[in-house]
Chains A and B, each alone.
Chain A
């Protein structure tokens, strides 16, 4: 059974966003997504200090059977990337919401979060996809 933590924001393209105490936004992919992908073999992350734009491609997550684009939930500057993913990409499968985070953004406009989905809505969109 996939998990959908309540406090996160989601996109239909299966990324989650968490607003941290310091106002930065952490991004990763959902439990449902890692399950669909299968064993993650590689993650291509955006470069540190690069600009990302909301709803546009910021990276790629690759498994044996698929390579999916990662769409940034919000616009801003990339202030941190999870370099553990280089040697142990499998932590995305084991811990998609914690240790398997992808990158952190310093957002330009937190209002962009309003267009993201709640846990309930995202869960529903996953169920709709299945049919």
Chain B
């Protein structure tokens, strides 16, 4: 069990480093569905907010 714990700590430290390095360019909200998945340009001002799409469906 201790090996798993140590492995997890190392993995987590590495992940935190990566996320820190990635800044706000990383998207952790999961898979996109619907219009979110096919539209590459930013949402238009009058378009519904991104939250209106079921973007985190799994």
Answer yes or no: are A and B bound together in one complex: no
Residues of A within 8 A of B (CB): none
